[in-house]
Amino acid sequence: MRILSGITSSGECHIGNYFGAMRQHVRLQGEGEAIYFIADYHSMTVVRDAAERRRLVREVALDYLACGLDPARAILYRQSDLPEVCELTWILGSVTPMGLLERSHAYKDKVAQGLPVDHGLFAYPVLMAADILIYGSDIVPVGQDQKQHLEMARDMAQRFNHVYGVEVFRLPEPHILEGVAVVPGTDGRKMSKSYDNTIRMFWPQKQLRKAIMGIVTDSTPVESPKKTDTTLFQLWSLFATPDEREEMFERARAGGLGYGEVKKDLLARLLDTFGPMRARREELAKRPDDTEDVLADGARRARALGAPVVAAAREAAGLGPAR
């Protein structure tokens, strides 16, 4: 079973990335042939500074390795090290209806917000489809809110196969990541780099404390009962067992539990959970060449898997001399 997923290097990874994807990616590397890429092509719609883009790629790579991704069991590579994906993007784009792209949630959200939209954002789903289809992936781990991207990739694959009468592209199936739907940010909205409401796994303790103490709460007195479907309790629940959640929620409903106590406990749990990973990351950061070697080797292995698919697409479309 071939597994494919990626993460955009448009900012530093946060606990939303970890609970929403990275943790599951690490687990899945033991269940099949796992391929993970750091999407620096995708980041070009957001990041406009070359040095910052390269820095963010290194940060994401370090985070993945610190969280337990094993280069001996999974492929980790930088997206731009495989320019073949851009060729495949054009090949797929040539058979992709405009209407399909106009229905993209990300595109429609930007338009609704009145934000400027460029071709990169509009064609984003085609590049994503190329990322997915280039390896003949069997499954793609996605959150429920990302399922549309995979459905669009399947539509493009089917259209290409139909237009050229050759079954070049395999239709991958979604693997819906269970456990966490949407991780809230410190302001209650979805945790996102673009909202500046994130909690970074590997921030210094002082910065982590500031972020957690800044989580928005209401003015309910300590002695009064409290609702448990709030941002603070949702974040705290990520680090608690079912029994611990039930006990804490009962205390909240009964009254006498202060938000400050919950925040302090959340900080302690966060530091404890990511402590061993933090130590690994600090050691990895001392050897930057090792991380670059992991990405280069990952690109070599990924190219070996993707080259036959690109060659088949070129042959089907009549690109280059006949074989």
**Of 147, 190, 263, 264, catalytic:** 190
**Of 108, 110, 210, 227, catalytic:** 110
* Nearest CA among 81, 101, 92, 93 for reference residue 9: 81
Is residue 263 annotated as a catalytic residue, yes or no? no
Catalytic residues: 110, 190, 193
